[in-house]
Structure 1
């Protein structure tokens, strides 16, 4: 499938032969980014935003692209990440399908999409590509790096591999490594995609797309992104409207929650490349901050050199439980950083940082003001 790139996205070419941690190298690769706000004369107001698995670099609307971004309520003039003060660079992860080079990109050596010939992807590769992008744009030091979910893993990896690149960190609903539950969920998502005959070992093209596998994978993801409390309060045991039921279909959808999952999954499937989903999902499972320099996770966190950090999460997150954010905060505190750990009450689970701006916004704004 073709890459789906927002219209105002810009690009930074990576060095030819960009080396990947697990072997192989990329030629003619690029990173997609969008920029918001203006750099100060001293160039000391730059914030790097590292998104989760599926978002593009279009985090918010701006004059070159007025369509709402994936973090619209949080980013912009007068918003918690205030672009009247901060120059924000949002990167699309290496391996994605929103403009950065990934499995759906054309391999210049063959003239065909990489597909499964794309090198094995690690969080360290994503971090190195983001760090190169920042420096290529002329910034040697960031005021802050902000990472949520997978982006929070990338932010930790970036700080571990590029010491002194940022003086501040906001880490939201993330972890130093994945736990068995989240690995298991993502494994089932990958199995659903790979089991779809249309996946064809990653060789799907214009004549086919593993839609059923992607629908199932997305539904599993949606279940893990929200909390049981939210599902219960939103849907309870409400039946699906009769006009949405497939009459005569054995074991078809009957409940409102099933209809919601189906609708949300259909919105996603043709807007994301299945092979990118597989690569990014697996790199989250592989990531372990302890690999950044040997030793334990606590030792790795102690080696990170940031002056201030804000670490946030919610108790209803089953994908990245709150104790994982506490672990990050405690480890960073041992490094000598000024760390605030902020557990929040929100029923939306892992997706709270995307939805519950009323809770997440003020602490983010306050922290950035303190830098």
Structure 2
């Protein structure tokens, strides 16, 4: 069985990790497959910064999902065997409570009154969804990018809630380079005159700031080698606008422009600011004194850690750190070091490398 988006509405206040409380919290999610009688075949997926919970198509929503080639009958995350849950991150604008949501107490969007968001808050919201579906222990918890951080937070908060973990292009903490980059992206948005200290109208968002922030992000999501092989110095097909001496000349510029325009129409700027900062604030060492000690506390039996050699945002050394730390307790740990050219975005596009590794790992999952 596959379903379109559902909403979990919590019947109690949701206390945020860094202070503040959200009332009437709702969490959007989608599911695929059937939950076993013993509820022991569930996989929980956390997303990266940008995607919604629509990770794959379903009978009710046939549009392709952001991980369409990974989830479904006969695919690596096989819905004939597993009950798959994908949650929309708390703070994201695709159905879960976020800065763009209406605060029932005021009748206005939360905007910057939304409490500080952390990766741990996102993990806890996902845990609430699993519990609401009758799942007490997951077969696996999986996530790429921000989702990779979130599965680490999940295992730190709920050490015995999953039998295995798959972290993809994630990290125990953000490095200074990534923090600096995201800080600049946030400043670009906040410097846009249309931002109005977060009080912009829904039809008058800071478009320029969002476009530039997205372009900067897209540059780092891929590798320089891929840019060279994919675009070289190919000239853009579109004609330059009259009177614009510094318009688009190269195809790589047109590519960035297209992606920035598409993203700007979909994502709320304040949500972007909150989730971006949550990635910078996360540090797995907060759950044990050191990263190594935090990893020791994970109750999982098996782990798959995947990284890409060309990743600028989460360098391969960070995935090596996770694999080494998880191995310390004698767990079955697989470290997949992939030579993909597509950098941080490889998990979305280099399916020929990612599918076999994930499929093999999940084939070994024990359903009790």
Matching residue of 1:116: 112
Check conservation: 1:245, 1:254, Cα contact below 8 A: yes
User: Quick one: distance in 2 between partners of 1:81 and 1:162?
Assistant: 23
2:355 to 346, 351, 361: 361
Could you report, residue by residue, the CA deviation over 1:88-126 in whole angstroms, capped at 9, with x for unpaired residues? Answer: 000000000000000000001101100001001011111
Structure 1 residues 207, 61: CA separation in 2 closer, same or farther (over 3 Å shift)?
closer
Check conservation: 1:163, 1:304, Cα contact below 8 A: yes
How many angstroms does 1:237 deviate by?
A: 1.2
Could you report, residue by residue, the CA deviation over 1:219-238 in whole angstroms, capped at 9, with x for unpaired residues? Answer: 01101100001100111111
2:103 to 104, 107, 117: 107
How many pairs align? Answer: 363
Matching residue of 2:71: 75
User: Quick one: distance in 2 between partners of 1:70 and 1:34?
Assistant: 13
Check conservation: 1:91, 1:130, Cα contact below 8 A: yes
| 1:280 aligns to 2:271 (yes or no) | no
1:330 to 312, 324, 328: 324
Q: Specify every segment of 5 or more residues in structure 1 that has no aligned partner in the other structure, as ranges.
A: 1-6
User: Quick one: distance in 2 between partners of 1:208 and 1:335?
Assistant: 53
User: Quick one: distance in 1 between partners of 2:70 and 2:239?
Assistant: 35
RMSD of aligned alpha carbons: 1.1
1:65 to 61, 67, 74: 61
| 1:315 aligns to 2:309 (yes or no) | yes
The aligned runs of 1:1-371 (5 Å cut-off) are 8-241=4-237, 243-293=238-288, 295-371=289-365
Matching residue of 1:3: none
User: Quick one: distance in 2 between partners of 1:220 and 1:322?
Assistant: 21
User: Quick one: distance in 1 between partners of 2:175 and 2:318?
Assistant: 9
How many angstroms does 1:85 deviate by?
A: 0.8
Q: Normalised by the size of structure 2, how large is the TM-score?
A: 0.97
User: Quick one: distance in 1 between partners of 2:299 and 2:214?
Assistant: 37
Could you report, residue by residue, the CA deviation over 1:149-184 in whole angstroms, capped at 9, with x for unpaired residues? Answer: 000101000100012100001110000000111111
Structure 1 residues 74, 108: CA separation in 2 closer, same or farther (over 3 Å shift)?
same
Q: Normalised by the size of structure 1, how large is the TM-score?
A: 0.96
Check conservation: 2:124, 2:154, Cα contact below 8 A: yes
User: Quick one: distance in 2 between partners of 1:280 and 1:97?
Assistant: 10
